[in-house]
Structure 1
Amino acid sequence: MSKLRFTKMHGTGNDYVYVDLFKEKLEDPAKASIIVSDRHFGVGSDGLICIAPSDVADCRMIMFNADGSEGAMCGNGVRCVAKYAYDHGIATKENIKVETLSGIKDIDVTVENGKVAYATVNMGKAILNGPDIPTTYKDEVVVDKKIEVLGKEYEVTCVSMGNPHCVIFTENIDDLDLEKIGPFFENYEAFPNRINTEFVEVIDENTLKMRVWERGSGETISCGTGTCATVVAAVLKGFCKRDSEVEVQIRGGSLFDTYLSSGEVIMRGPATEVFTGEIEID
């Protein structure tokens, strides 16, 4: 058994266990993610994020879902990585570059009382081409594709923000049984790498309300790439406008996203450290 030092952090309730690979060694992070994510026998989290040295940025984010599968990007997670990097002296500046599997992310941090409180991330360009998301659809833009889940028809709009998403605009999302329907969307045949699914109510052109089923983790109370994909989908369907910041209300709070005319998405939101500790890893 070996002890692993960690920091528990969250962005609007999307919580991860963070391990500083500048100081720690972790031979099997996929297995460690399964152990630490368990909310009864572990620390309890949506997954594990390693903060590692990088040759091309201030640091590198390596993320794993609660089931041990590796993810390409996490919008809430990358904000917390920037907070950790600033607060712990890895990068003592207010613009931090973080290497991820979906590219280098530029993050502007807002410092209050010497610690990062908020972060604004350029999440890069939304990927809309069906095969690149990836989906089995050949369309250049995948909007309102009809799929059937448990005998009910849904219209999905698909976007990748480094992770694949399908967005469904509907009503009464609080009444949805995501535990029942979520896995069927995640593993639907049109999504070869599985998919994250957002269920969205339109409040007005500047406000959306969202619940999310994340591949590998189940329902989470926030998903940064999910809110970005949701705003992109809302613009594609005419519910929201380009170049206008949209508040996306999730169960863990709110994130503020803007789909720019350039195709890039800007995300603004909080980053919070909860506690530090040690856990024994076999």
Structure 2
Amino acid sequence: MLLHFTKMHGLGNDFMVVDLVTQRARLDNAEVRRLADRRFGIGFDQLLVVEPPRNPDMDFRYRIYNADGSEVENCGNGARCFARFVLDKRLTHKHQIRVETAGGPLTLDVHNDNQISVDMGAPRFAPQALPFDAPDEQLTYRLDVDGQSHEISIASMGNPHAVLIVDSTEQAPVERLGPAIEGHPRFPRRVNVGFMQVISPGEIRLRVYERGSGETLACGTGACAAVACGIRRGLLTSPVKVHLAGGSLKIDWDGGDSHLIMTGPAERVYDGRVALR
């Protein structure tokens, strides 16, 4: 069968977006991996799937698959693309869209300037929220990796994040430490790893090694987690501009149980059809 899809990106974090409201398809792990291949398939960091909601109070169900075929709880850059997609495809006429995800509900607001704000909910810092193997909640933790001890902060944005502060994102050992921390045994479900350089209380640079995808040009939930950890540690004050390789995001968070708001762009690249096996 032929599957209609749209290729999109949020700051270079690229997605294949599929409408399973008006068409039907079964996408197993092997099919997702085949489609994700950048030489023999479509190529993407994540596959985003639009489905009818199970909860009548929601507008859609939002599902996210990594390039390795694993399903994950949340993707902030993907959420902005999701909002742009359902409007462009006339699946809704709302400019405030509520979606259910494996990590909890999200509210998406589409502005007239092509900027999209996502209410990401309140960040969670308890080890069991990720999960992370630690006896109690702390501001920072020591993590032993290949015989060296590293200081990390942790946060859940519906998906798990570890954040390291570095002097320079350009010099950060992302290729070495990223996969080592992602699969560290203290993170039983693996983890996304952020390398944060603090420029000022209102500005950071960030690189993210994403669970199941490797380093990407941008990671929305990674930006949210880094800012939340930085504010909690007294290093940052809201709002914070986050510079990623693919562009910049604005993150607003008042601390505590308040909801974190991420704002940034979403772009359509092309529409296509692909034959499924």
Superposed CA offset, 1:203-248 (max 9, x none): 000001000001100111111110000001101211112xx21001
Q: Quick check: 1:36–1:47 contact (8 Å CA) kept in 2?
A: no
Superposed CA offset, 1:90-149 (max 9, x none): 12022111111122211110135xxxx221011001111111221011223x32211122
- Tell me how far apart the structure 2 counterparts of residues 178 and 279 of structure 1 sit (CA, whole Å): 34
Structure 1, unpaired ranges of 5+: none
Q: Give the alignment's TM-score, normalised by structure 2.
A: 0.95
Paired residue type of 2:38: R
Q: Does 1:21 align with 2:20?
A: yes
- Tell me how far apart the structure 1 counterparts of residues 222 and 229 of structure 2 sit (CA, whole Å): 10
Picking from 130, 133, 143, the partner of 1:133 is 130
Paired residue type of 1:166: A
Paired residue type of 2:224: C
- Tell me how far apart the structure 2 counterparts of residues 33 and 255 of structure 1 sit (CA, whole Å): 28
Picking from 217, 224, 228, the partner of 1:228 is 224
SS at match of 2:227: helix
SS at match of 1:179: helix
SS at match of 1:78: helix
SS at match of 1:143: coil
Picking from 108, 115, 118, the partner of 2:115 is 118
Q: Does 1:149 align with 2:145?
A: yes
Q: Which structure 2 residues correspond to residues 1-282 of structure 1 after superposition, within 5 A?
A: 2-54=1-53, 55-111=56-112, 117-140=114-137, 142-241=138-237, 244-261=238-255, 262-282=257-277
Paired residue type of 2:98: K
Q: Give the alignment's TM-score, normalised by structure 1.
A: 0.93
Q: Quick check: 2:174–2:195 contact (8 Å CA) kept in 1?
A: no
Q: Quick check: 1:150–1:181 contact (8 Å CA) kept in 2?
A: no
Task: Give the number of equivalent residue pairs.
Answer: 274
- Tell me how far apart the structure 1 counterparts of residues 163 and 139 of structure 2 sit (CA, whole Å): 9
SS at match of 2:260: strand
Paired residue type of 2:46: G
| Displacement after TM superposition at 1:29 (Å) | 4.2
- Tell me how far apart the structure 2 counterparts of residues 179 and 230 of structure 1 sit (CA, whole Å): 19
SS at match of 2:90: coil
| Displacement after TM superposition at 1:24 (Å) | 2.2
Superposed CA offset, 1:61-104 (max 9, x none): 11100000001110011111111111211120221111111222
Bigger mean CA offset, 87-96 vs 228-237: 87-96
Paired residue type of 1:139: D
SS at match of 2:225: helix
- Tell me how far apart the structure 1 counterparts of residues 270 and 27 of structure 2 sit (CA, whole Å): 23
- Tell me how far apart the structure 1 counterparts of residues 258 and 29 of structure 2 sit (CA, whole Å): 33
- Tell me how far apart the structure 1 counterparts of residues 213 and 111 of structure 2 sit (CA, whole Å): 29
The 4+ residue runs of structure 1 with deviation greater than 6 A are none
Task: Decide which structure has greater strand share.
Answer: 1
- Tell me how far apart the structure 2 counterparts of residues 36 and 201 of structure 1 sit (CA, whole Å): 34
- Tell me how far apart the structure 2 counterparts of residues 104 and 93 of structure 1 sit (CA, whole Å): 17
Paired residue type of 1:213: Y
Q: Quick check: 1:50–1:63 contact (8 Å CA) kept in 2?
A: yes
